[in-house]
Protein backbone atom coordinates (compact mmCIF):
# COMPACT_ATOMS: atom_id res chain seq x y z
CA UNK A 1 0.00 0.00 0.00
CA UNK A 2 1.13 3.52 -0.77
CA UNK A 3 1.69 5.73 2.26
CA UNK A 4 -1.48 7.70 2.86
CA UNK A 5 -1.51 11.46 3.22
CA UNK A 6 -2.50 13.34 6.36
CA UNK A 7 -6.03 14.79 6.43
CA UNK A 8 -5.68 18.13 8.20
CA UNK A 9 -8.42 19.57 10.45
CA UNK A 10 -10.18 22.86 9.60
CA UNK A 11 -8.17 24.52 12.36
CA UNK A 12 -4.89 23.17 10.99
CA UNK A 13 -5.84 24.20 7.44
CA UNK A 14 -6.39 27.80 8.49
CA UNK A 15 -2.95 27.78 10.17
CA UNK A 16 -1.35 26.18 7.10
CA UNK A 17 -2.99 28.83 4.86
CA UNK A 18 -1.32 31.59 6.89
CA UNK A 19 2.08 29.87 6.92
CA UNK A 20 1.83 29.31 3.16
CA UNK A 21 1.06 33.01 2.60
CA UNK A 22 4.06 33.97 4.76
CA UNK A 23 6.32 31.74 2.65
CA UNK A 24 4.80 33.18 -0.55
CA UNK A 25 5.46 36.73 0.70
CA UNK A 26 9.17 35.97 1.14
CA UNK A 27 9.33 34.15 -2.22
CA UNK A 28 7.91 37.18 -4.04
CA UNK A 29 9.77 39.94 -2.14
CA UNK A 30 13.25 38.44 -2.07
CA UNK A 31 14.01 38.41 -5.83
CA UNK A 32 13.42 42.19 -5.90
CA UNK A 33 16.35 42.63 -3.49
CA UNK A 34 18.82 40.47 -5.42
CA UNK A 35 21.36 42.45 -7.49
CA UNK A 36 24.29 41.30 -9.65
CA UNK A 37 27.45 41.02 -7.53
CA UNK A 38 25.63 40.10 -4.32
CA UNK A 39 26.81 37.12 -2.27
CA UNK A 40 24.40 34.27 -1.61
CA UNK A 41 24.97 34.86 2.15
CA UNK A 42 23.67 38.38 1.62
CA UNK A 43 20.55 36.87 -0.02
CA UNK A 44 20.14 34.56 2.99
CA UNK A 45 20.41 37.57 5.34
CA UNK A 46 17.68 39.38 3.38
CA UNK A 47 15.55 36.24 3.66
CA UNK A 48 16.03 36.22 7.44
CA UNK A 49 14.67 39.79 7.62
CA UNK A 50 11.68 39.02 5.40
CA UNK A 51 10.85 35.84 7.33
CA UNK A 52 10.99 37.82 10.59
CA UNK A 53 8.61 40.39 9.05
CA UNK A 54 6.00 37.65 8.63
CA UNK A 55 6.16 36.87 12.36
CA UNK A 56 7.40 33.37 11.59
CA UNK A 57 10.75 31.62 11.59
CA UNK A 58 12.73 29.54 9.11
CA UNK A 59 11.42 26.00 8.82
CA UNK A 60 14.77 24.90 7.32
CA UNK A 61 17.33 26.30 9.79
CA UNK A 62 18.50 23.35 11.90
CA UNK A 63 16.42 20.81 9.93
CA UNK A 64 18.74 17.77 9.86
CA UNK A 65 21.41 20.35 10.73
CA UNK A 66 20.73 22.60 7.71
CA UNK A 67 22.73 25.82 8.36
CA UNK A 68 20.84 28.42 6.27
CA UNK A 69 17.59 30.37 6.56
CA UNK A 70 16.56 29.34 3.06
CA UNK A 71 18.08 27.33 0.19
CA UNK A 72 19.79 29.34 -2.58
CA UNK A 73 20.85 27.34 -5.63
CA UNK A 74 22.58 29.02 -8.57
CA UNK A 75 22.70 27.83 -12.22
CA UNK A 76 23.83 24.14 -12.22
CA UNK A 77 22.93 23.85 -8.53
CA UNK A 78 19.61 22.03 -8.33
CA UNK A 79 18.50 22.42 -4.70
CA UNK A 80 19.75 22.87 -1.11
CA UNK A 81 22.47 25.46 -1.88
CA UNK A 82 23.66 27.24 1.29
CA UNK A 83 24.21 31.02 1.42
CA UNK A 84 27.96 31.69 1.33
CA UNK A 85 30.03 34.90 1.68
CA UNK A 86 32.36 33.93 -1.19
CA UNK A 87 29.73 32.88 -3.73
CA UNK A 88 28.35 35.72 -5.87
CA UNK A 89 25.47 35.94 -8.30
CA UNK A 90 26.01 37.65 -11.65
CA UNK A 91 23.77 39.17 -14.29
CA UNK A 92 22.10 36.41 -16.32
CA UNK A 93 22.55 33.76 -13.63
CA UNK A 94 19.46 31.87 -12.50
CA UNK A 95 18.82 31.62 -8.77
CA UNK A 96 16.45 29.16 -7.11
CA UNK A 97 15.19 30.24 -3.72
CA UNK A 98 13.40 27.71 -1.56
CA UNK A 99 11.63 29.25 1.43
CA UNK A 100 10.13 27.39 4.39
CA UNK A 101 8.34 29.36 7.11
CA UNK A 102 7.08 28.06 10.44
CA UNK A 103 4.23 30.33 11.51
CA UNK A 104 2.33 29.39 14.65
CA UNK A 105 3.52 25.80 14.39
CA UNK A 106 2.36 25.35 10.80
CA UNK A 107 4.61 25.17 7.76
CA UNK A 108 4.65 27.05 4.46
CA UNK A 109 7.11 25.75 1.84
CA UNK A 110 7.59 27.16 -1.66
CA UNK A 111 10.25 27.92 -4.23
CA UNK A 112 10.93 29.78 -7.45
CA UNK A 113 13.77 30.33 -9.90
CA UNK A 114 14.50 33.76 -11.37
CA UNK A 115 17.06 35.54 -13.55
CA UNK A 116 19.50 37.94 -11.87
CA UNK A 117 19.48 41.46 -13.35
CA UNK A 118 18.25 42.14 -16.88
CA UNK A 119 16.04 39.26 -18.10
CA UNK A 120 17.46 39.79 -21.61
CA UNK A 121 20.82 38.59 -20.27
CA UNK A 122 19.50 35.00 -20.26
CA UNK A 123 19.06 32.83 -23.36
CA UNK A 124 15.72 31.79 -24.91
CA UNK A 125 16.30 28.23 -23.71
CA UNK A 126 16.86 29.41 -20.11
CA UNK A 127 13.62 31.41 -20.27
CA UNK A 128 11.90 28.26 -21.54
CA UNK A 129 13.40 26.20 -18.70
CA UNK A 130 11.94 28.60 -16.13
CA UNK A 131 8.57 28.92 -17.87
CA UNK A 132 8.06 25.18 -18.31
CA UNK A 133 9.15 24.32 -14.76
CA UNK A 134 6.73 26.90 -13.32
CA UNK A 135 3.92 25.71 -15.61
CA UNK A 136 4.55 22.10 -14.54
CA UNK A 137 4.26 23.15 -10.90
CA UNK A 138 0.90 24.83 -11.43
CA UNK A 139 -0.42 22.10 -13.75
CA UNK A 140 0.63 19.48 -11.18
CA UNK A 141 -1.27 21.34 -8.45
CA UNK A 142 -4.31 21.68 -10.72
CA UNK A 143 -4.36 17.89 -11.20
CA UNK A 144 -4.75 17.36 -7.43
CA UNK A 145 -8.47 16.55 -7.26
CA UNK A 146 -10.09 14.41 -4.58
CA UNK A 147 -10.29 10.70 -5.54
CA UNK A 148 -7.40 11.06 -8.02
CA UNK A 149 -4.01 9.64 -7.07
CA UNK A 150 -0.47 10.95 -6.64
CA UNK A 151 0.36 9.41 -10.05
CA UNK A 152 -2.12 11.80 -11.71
CA UNK A 153 -0.13 14.74 -10.33
CA UNK A 154 3.19 13.13 -11.27
CA UNK A 155 2.04 12.41 -14.82
CA UNK A 156 0.85 15.97 -15.38
CA UNK A 157 4.26 17.31 -14.27
CA UNK A 158 6.27 14.78 -16.28
CA UNK A 159 4.37 15.54 -19.50
CA UNK A 160 5.53 19.16 -19.33
CA UNK A 161 9.17 18.12 -19.09
CA UNK A 162 8.94 15.55 -21.87
CA UNK A 163 7.36 17.96 -24.35
CA UNK A 164 10.07 20.56 -23.64
CA UNK A 165 12.88 17.93 -23.68
CA UNK A 166 14.00 18.72 -20.13
CA UNK A 167 15.54 16.27 -17.66
CA UNK A 168 13.45 15.42 -14.59
CA UNK A 169 15.42 15.05 -11.34
CA UNK A 170 14.48 11.73 -9.73
CA UNK A 171 16.37 11.73 -6.41
CA UNK A 172 14.23 14.51 -4.89
CA UNK A 173 10.44 14.65 -4.84
CA UNK A 174 7.51 16.68 -3.54
CA UNK A 175 5.82 15.79 -0.27
CA UNK A 176 2.90 16.26 2.06
CA UNK A 177 3.34 19.41 4.13
CA UNK A 178 1.56 21.46 6.76
CA UNK A 179 2.00 20.33 10.36
CA UNK A 180 5.58 19.25 9.56
CA UNK A 181 7.90 20.21 6.69
CA UNK A 182 7.89 16.71 5.24
CA UNK A 183 4.80 14.55 5.63
CA UNK A 184 3.68 11.53 3.63
CA UNK A 185 3.04 10.94 0.81
CA UNK A 186 5.94 11.50 -1.58
CA UNK A 187 5.05 13.34 -4.80
CA UNK A 188 7.43 12.27 -7.59
CA UNK A 189 7.81 14.48 -10.65
CA UNK A 190 7.77 11.39 -12.90
CA UNK A 191 5.56 8.33 -13.26
CA UNK A 192 6.67 5.25 -11.37
CA UNK A 193 4.16 2.59 -12.45
CA UNK A 194 2.39 2.91 -9.07
CA UNK A 195 -0.79 4.89 -8.49
CA UNK A 196 0.42 6.15 -5.13
CA UNK A 197 -1.78 7.51 -2.36
CA UNK A 198 -5.40 8.45 -3.07
CA UNK A 199 -6.06 12.19 -2.78
CA UNK A 200 -8.64 13.27 -0.22
CA UNK A 201 -10.03 16.62 0.91
CA UNK A 202 -7.85 18.08 3.68
CA UNK A 203 -4.56 16.75 2.28
CA UNK A 204 -1.87 19.34 1.49
CA UNK A 205 0.87 18.58 -1.05
CA UNK A 206 4.08 20.49 -1.78
CA UNK A 207 4.52 20.05 -5.54
CA UNK A 208 8.11 20.83 -6.52
CA UNK A 209 9.49 19.86 -9.92
CA UNK A 210 13.23 20.17 -10.59
CA UNK A 211 13.89 20.25 -14.35
CA UNK A 212 17.32 20.29 -16.03
CA UNK A 213 18.52 21.57 -19.41
CA UNK A 214 20.64 18.43 -19.72
CA UNK A 215 20.93 15.16 -17.87
CA UNK A 216 18.54 14.29 -15.04
CA UNK A 217 21.55 12.96 -13.10
CA UNK A 218 22.69 14.87 -10.02
CA UNK A 219 25.26 14.58 -7.22
CA UNK A 220 25.79 16.15 -3.79
CA UNK A 221 28.77 18.40 -3.05
CA UNK A 222 31.16 17.61 -0.15
CA UNK A 223 29.28 20.19 1.99
CA UNK A 224 26.66 17.43 2.28
CA UNK A 225 23.85 19.67 0.98
CA UNK A 226 24.37 21.37 -2.37
CA UNK A 227 22.91 19.22 -5.15
CA UNK A 228 24.28 19.84 -8.67
CA UNK A 229 23.67 18.48 -12.15
CA UNK A 230 26.28 15.94 -13.26
CA UNK A 231 26.81 17.65 -16.62
CA UNK A 232 26.96 21.20 -15.24
CA UNK A 233 23.93 22.31 -17.26
CA UNK A 234 21.44 24.58 -15.52
CA UNK A 235 18.46 23.52 -13.45
CA UNK A 236 15.20 25.17 -12.31
CA UNK A 237 13.02 24.51 -9.29
CA UNK A 238 9.54 25.80 -8.45
CA UNK A 239 7.31 24.74 -5.57
CA UNK A 240 3.72 25.40 -4.55
CA UNK A 241 1.55 23.95 -1.80
CA UNK A 242 -1.88 22.75 -2.86
CA UNK A 243 -4.89 21.86 -0.68
CA UNK A 244 -7.14 19.08 -1.94
CA UNK A 245 -10.79 20.09 -1.50
CA UNK A 246 -14.23 18.74 -2.44
CA UNK A 247 -14.01 20.97 -5.52
CA UNK A 248 -11.04 22.67 -7.22
CA UNK A 249 -7.57 22.31 -5.73
CA UNK A 250 -6.55 25.45 -3.80
CA UNK A 251 -2.98 26.68 -4.34
CA UNK A 252 -2.09 27.95 -0.87
CA UNK A 253 1.12 29.69 -1.96
CA UNK A 254 -0.46 32.07 -4.50
CA UNK A 255 0.32 35.38 -2.85
CA UNK A 256 -3.05 36.96 -1.99
CA UNK A 257 -1.93 40.59 -1.59
Residues that bind Co ion (CB under 5 A): 109, 206
Residue 100 is a binding residue for ligand MF3 (CB under 6 A): yes
From the CB of residue 236, how many other CB atoms can be counted at a distance below 10 Å? 28
Give the one entry of Co ion, ligand MF3, none that residue 66 binds, where binding means its C-beta sits below a cut-off of 5 to 8 angstroms depending on kind.
ligand MF3
219 binds, among Co ion, ligand MF3, none (CB under 5 to 8 A by kind): none
CB 234 within 8 A of CB 4: no
Of 1, 11, 32, 64, the one binding ligand MF3 by CB under 6 A: 64
Question: Considering CB distances under 5 to 8 angstroms, the limit depending on partner class, which of Co ion, ligand MF3, none binds residue 106?
Answer: none
* Smallest separation, CB 177 to ligand MF3 (Å): 7
| DSSP result, 38-107 | -BHHHHHHHHHHHHHHHT-EESSTTGGG--SSSEEEETTEEE-----TT-B--TT-EEEEEEEEEETTEE
Asked if 194 touches ligand MF3 (CB under 6 A), the answer is no
Preceding omega of 185 cis (within 30 degrees of 0)? yes
158 or 186: CB nearest ligand MF3:
186
74 phi and psi, to 5 degrees? -110, 130
CB 25 within 8 A of CB 256: no
44 binds ligand MF3 (CB under 6 A): no
Complex with Co ion: residue 28 or 231, whichever CB lies closer: 28
CA-to-CA distance for 89 and 121, rounded, in angstroms? 13
Verify binding: residue 207, ligand MF3, rule CB under 6 A. Answer: no
Does residue 66 interact with ligand MF3 by CB under 6 A?
A: yes
- What burial class does residue 159 get, using C-beta atoms within 10 Å of its C-beta: 0-12 exposed, 13-18 middle, 19+ buried? middle
Q: For Co ion, which is the closer residue by CB, 128 or 250?
A: 250
> If binding is defined by CB under 6 A, does position 63 make contact with ligand MF3?
yes
Residue 80 interacts with ligand MF3 (CB under 6 A): yes or no: yes
User: If binding is defined by CB under 6 A, does position 71 make contact with ligand MF3?
Assistant: yes
Among 77, 98, 183, 186, binds ligand MF3 (CB under 6 A): 98
Distance between CA 92 and CA 80 in Å, rounded? 21
- The site for ligand MF3, by CB under 6 A, has a size of 10
Closest listed residue to residue 136, CA positions, set 161, 171, 168: 161
Residue numbers at the binding site for ligand MF3 (CB under 6 A): 60, 63-64, 66, 71, 80, 98, 100, 109, 206
Amino acid sequence: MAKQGIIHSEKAISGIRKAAQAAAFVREQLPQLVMPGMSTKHIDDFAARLIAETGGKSAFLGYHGYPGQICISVNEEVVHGIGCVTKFVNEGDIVSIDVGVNLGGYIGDNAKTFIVGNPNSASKRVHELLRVTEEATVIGCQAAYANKHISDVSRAIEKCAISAKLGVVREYVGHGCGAALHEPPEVPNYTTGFKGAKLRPGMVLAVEPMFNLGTEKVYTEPDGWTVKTKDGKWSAHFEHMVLITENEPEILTWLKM
